[in-house]
Amino acid sequence: MTDCVFCKIANGEIKQSKFIYENDNFFSMQDINPITAGHSLVISKKHFTTTLDLPSTLGTELLDCIKQTALKIMETEKAEGFHVISNNFLAAKQAVEHVHFHIVPRKKNDELDGKLIY
Q: CB of 39 within 8 A of CB of 117?
A: no
Q: Write out the catalytic residue numbers.
A: 100
Q: What is the mean pLDDT of residues 70-82?
A: 97
Q: CB of 66 within 8 A of CB of 100?
A: no
Q: What is the CATH number of the domain that holds 64?
A: 3.30.428.10
Burial of 14 (0-12, 13-18, 19+ CB in 10 A): exposed
CA–CA dist 105, 52 (Å, integer)? 25
Give the pLDDT confidence score for residue 118 in this predicted structure. Answer: 67
Q: How sure is the predictor about 14, in pLDDT bands with cuts at 50, 70 and 90?
A: very high
Q: Domain span at residue 65?
A: 5-106
Q: What is the mean pLDDT of residues 26-54?
A: 97
Instruction: Answer yes or no: is 114 within a domain.
Output: no
Give the count of domains, the chain: 1
Is the predicted pLDDT of residue 1 greater than 70, yes or no? Answer: no
CA–CA dist 43, 106 (Å, integer)? 20
Q: Establish how many alpha carbons lie within 13 A of residue 83's alpha carbon, considering only the half-sphere containing its beta carbon.
A: 17
